[in-house]
């Protein structure tokens, strides 16, 4: 039996449409290992966010694009290339009540910090590649069709997660959506 079949045999607790249409999520052996299985090509991306834990990912099949967002220091000169390539965001700190269902963040807003500048860079990972991040790094992820990623979640190191929301013309644009009826559907 190859590694893909072994890992697929460990799948439990499938959640369909995990934040984007066609992205299924499974627990593996009911632990802190999760598998993402993208069943369709999707042109959108996940809202830039941090995690409460460090993690490592292995691309079992297909390809993902992981965009890392890096804060631009307010002390950098406005004429620098980094400053000119940056965008402003509201950094929203959110909490998740573990007793609530996936996606219930709207009433758990802890704080907003507006007009924070970030640059971003995307790296593509293909079958056989590993990538990892620390809990304080902001990222957004894109899944190609037939992509499978094994997600190894480390111990929780932060109480809250953060998201980046576009800040334009003096206001925060509410782009984070995680409470749609088609999201987080559990198999019966």
Domain boundary assignment for the chain: 3-86+116-155
Task: For residue 24, give both structure tokens.
Answer: 């299924």
The answer to whether 152 and 56 are in contact (CB under 8 A) is yes
- Give the predicted TM-score (pTM) of the model: 0.79
The pLDDT of residue 65 is 95
Which residues are paired to 49 by β-bridges?
139, 163
Question: Which CATH number is associated with domain 3-86+116-155?
Answer: 2.60.120.10
Q: What is the average per-residue pLDDT within 140-166?
A: 91
The rounded mean pLDDT for the chain is: 84
* Residue 136: predicted pLDDT: 95
User: Of 12-16, 46-50, 71-75, 178-182, which range is least confident?
Assistant: 178-182
Contact (CB, 8 A) for 176 and 183: no
Residue 44 CA to residue 35 CA, distance in Å, equals 20
Q: Using 50, 70 and 90 to split pLDDT, how confident is the model at 1?
A: very low
């Amino acid at each position: 039996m190859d590694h893909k079949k072994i890992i697929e045999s460990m799948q439990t607790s499938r959640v369909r449409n995990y934040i984007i249409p066609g992205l299924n999520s499974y627990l593996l052996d009911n632990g802190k290992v999760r598998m993402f299985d993208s069943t369709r090509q999707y042109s959108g991306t996940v809202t830039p966010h941090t995690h409460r834990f460090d993690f490592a990912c292995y691309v079992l099949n297909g390809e993902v694009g992981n965009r890392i967002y890096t804060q631009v220091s307010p002390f950098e000169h406005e004429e620098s290339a980094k400053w000119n390539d940056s965008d402003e965001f509201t950094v929203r700190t959110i909490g998740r009540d573990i007793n609530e269902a996936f996606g219930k963040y709207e009433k758990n807003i802890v704080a907003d910090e507006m007009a924070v500048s970030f640059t971003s860079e995307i790296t593509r990972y293909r079958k056989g590649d590993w990538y990892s991040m620390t809990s304080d790094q902001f990222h957004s992820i894109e899944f190609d069709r037939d992509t499978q990623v094994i997600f190894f979640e480390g111990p929780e190191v932060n109480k809250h997660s953060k998201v980046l929301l576009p800040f334009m013309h003096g206001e925060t644009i509410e782009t984070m959506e995680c409470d749609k009826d088609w999201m987080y559907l559990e198999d019966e």
